[in-house]
Chain A
Amino acid sequence: MNSQPIVRIEKLAKRFGEIEAVAGVDLEIVRGELFALLGGSGCGKTTLLRLLAGFETPDAGRILIDGQDMTGVSPHLRPVNMMFQSYALFPHMDVAANVAYGLRRERVPKQEIRTRVAEALALVKLDGHGARRPAQLSGGQRQRVALARALVKRPKLLLLDEPLAALDRKLREGTRFELVRLQEQLDLTFIVVTHDQEEAMSMASRLAVMDAGRIAQIGTPHELYEHPASRFVADFIGIANILDLGNGQWLALRPEKITLSIGRPDMAQAISGEVVDIAYEGDRSLYRIAVKGGPVMLVSRTNTVRTSEEAFRRGQTVWLGWNNDAGQVLDG
């Protein structure tokens, strides 16, 4: 087993006119992991992916894939395949020809192409759809053709640009697990670009949060959620109450780490406030509570019991309590 990182990005920079799309990124991606690049629009995550695929040339820095410097290597010579956000299926070819395209460029023998295309289509559960045109497929089927086409060459690294963005919500959740299953089954390295933090958190073994062309934090989903390194990350991933502790220090406190009670709780931290708003979401309820002389805080309660009404009313005075280790102290 090769323990060398599959991708090594060193001081990578790319600007478009005035905009620094990628501003000095250092990143290592481990073989066999599902890595997510997470960020808002314009944070540079897609540019980073395009730099990896070779569609953009960096202004500075370099990318090593499997130990080889990729600077100046054209896209068609890189051991990398990409699944495009628009899927980019060739409309003038049927599904089988789309999937076979990459193998034909490698001059793989015809018989082998046929078996490998059939395997790839079976892998994404599209057996028997080889003769269809992309226009005759549903959105979910097209997504799977795009995946099969990118997987069939068995790339060292698969890049996925917003792979689930064009699917509807129900399909998205099923496909998410499907992608993870494929990645583990084929033992490939995936880099997924997404703006959807829930998607990134649930799929990735590690993720990087990007902001303005820089990486704000890299870590496992648990690390990023429970130990955010900055106010940006705390705020970007999930919901956080950010409390000013003075002396330039802040406390990032997740809504579910706070307990609500009528009487003063026996906890290290306790303050009282008035319920301003309640958002019932089925599985949980989100309370907005105005603390006396302080900020409005968000508290969530899991609805573990079937009831027809909320435990607290709007306008009621309640106590908020949490332990000292419930939040993350931040310096910036």
Chain B
Amino acid sequence: MVGRARFAFTVLCFGYAFLYVPIALVIAYSFNASRLVTVWAGFSLHWWQALLHNEAMLSAAWLSLRIALVSATLSTLLGLAAGYVLARVPRFPGRMLFGSLVIAPMVMPEVVMGISMLLLFVGSQQFLGGPDRGFLTIVIGHTTFSLSFVAIVVQARLADFDRSLEEAAMDLGATPWTTFRTVTLPLIAPALGSGWLLAFTLSLDDLIMTQFVAGAATQTLPMRVYSSVRLGVDPQINVLATIIVAVAAAALIVSVRLTRR
């Protein structure tokens, strides 16, 4: 038994190492003094300072953050509505189609989604005169695919929701809207919170869809990182990666806390 336990422990260590050593290395090398990404030359905060003065990178990060905030909020509202209908309305004309449409962005290749979005925006610009490609079109693009994830989370939460709680509220004199506001919403709030965080992270690191709908003048953080890597990697990338890992880890911890409650 001891031998088996030791074997299992070794396998576990390899598994964790495979997943986390690269991340740990990125974090460590963000404090590297050397100009080369892969050669260690002592501890330094040089590249952290450099990144903080890199206007292009910072403005791209700020743009990505704003897009992620807006699109996560929009996806949460729309995803809540879609998930609620899917969980609560057993039949209406086109229910099958609606259900498939909600899930479609999750299974459809993002390249296809990107092209179709681009065609839509080009068309709308020709015939309606807008919107110009940039902030708004990226938000719309990101919302389209993130809302599916929120809808699925909400639908799953409502599926195992005790309906008699809502009936009890109505029985006690609450209108359907008050029932939703005072009983349904507080009880599915953790699911909404984790849905929002999921949408936020999806938007923050999306590259493919963004490249199609961004237009020429707009550059988000992932686009900026991708293009700077192609020009030659700079240790600032390590610093940026470290910050993103920290933000993602924080979001993950909050999300787990929310769903556990």
Residue A153 at the B interface, CB < 8 A?
A: yes
Flag if A92 contacts B187 (CB, 8 Å): yes
CB distance from B135 to the nearest CB of A (A): 37
Residue interface mask A87-117, B partner, CB < 8 A = 1: 0111110000000011001100000000000
Q: In this complex, which of A76, A84, A89, A153 has the most chain B Cβ atoms within 10 angstroms of its Cβ?
A: A76
Flag if B167 contacts A153 (CB, 8 Å): no
Q: Can you offer 9 A-B residue contacts whose CB atoms are under 8 A?
A: A76-B176, A77-B173, A84-B167, A86-B164, A90-B168, A92-B187, A101-B182, A105-B178, A149-B168
Flag if A80 contacts B169 (CB, 8 Å): no
Flag if B186 contacts A92 (CB, 8 Å): yes
Flag if A101 contacts B164 (CB, 8 Å): no
A101–B164 CA distance with the chains assembled, in angstroms: 15
Q: For B176, what are the chain A residues with a Cβ–Cβ distance below 8 Å?
A: 76
A101–B175 CA distance with the chains assembled, in angstroms: 12
Known: A86-B162, A92-B187. A76 touches B168 (CB 8 A): no
Flag if B187 contacts A75 (CB, 8 Å): no
A122–B168 CA distance with the chains assembled, in angstroms: 22
- In the complex, how many residues of chain B place their beta carbon closer than 8 angstroms to a beta carbon of chain A? 18
Flag if B170 contacts A88 (CB, 8 Å): no
Interface size class of A (residues with CB under 8 A): 20 to 34
16 new A-B contacts at CB < 8 Å, known A55-B167, A76-B172: A76-B171, A81-B172, A82-B167, A82-B171, A84-B168, A86-B164, A88-B164, A88-B168, A90-B165, A90-B169, A90-B183, A91-B187, A92-B186, A101-B169, A101-B174, A105-B173
Query: How many A-B contacts are there with CB distance less than 8 Å?
Result: 56
CB distance from A284 to the nearest CB of B (A): 39
Nearest chain B residue, comparing its CB with the CB of A53 = B171
**Which residues 116-173 of B have a CB within 8 angstroms of A?**
162, 164-165, 167-173
Flag if A106 contacts B173 (CB, 8 Å): yes
A88–B178 CA distance with the chains assembled, in angstroms: 17
Among A84, A91, A105, the residue within 8 A (CB) of B174 is A105
CB distance from B188 to the nearest CB of A (A): 11
A163–B139 CA distance with the chains assembled, in angstroms: 52
**Which residues 54-89 of A have a CB within 8 angstroms of B?**
55, 74-77, 80-82, 84-86, 88-89
CB distance from A133 to the nearest CB of B (A): 13
Residue interface mask A292-331, B partner, CB < 8 A = 1: 0000000000000000000000000000000000000000
Flag if B175 contacts A76 (CB, 8 Å): yes
A90–B170 CA distance with the chains assembled, in angstroms: 12
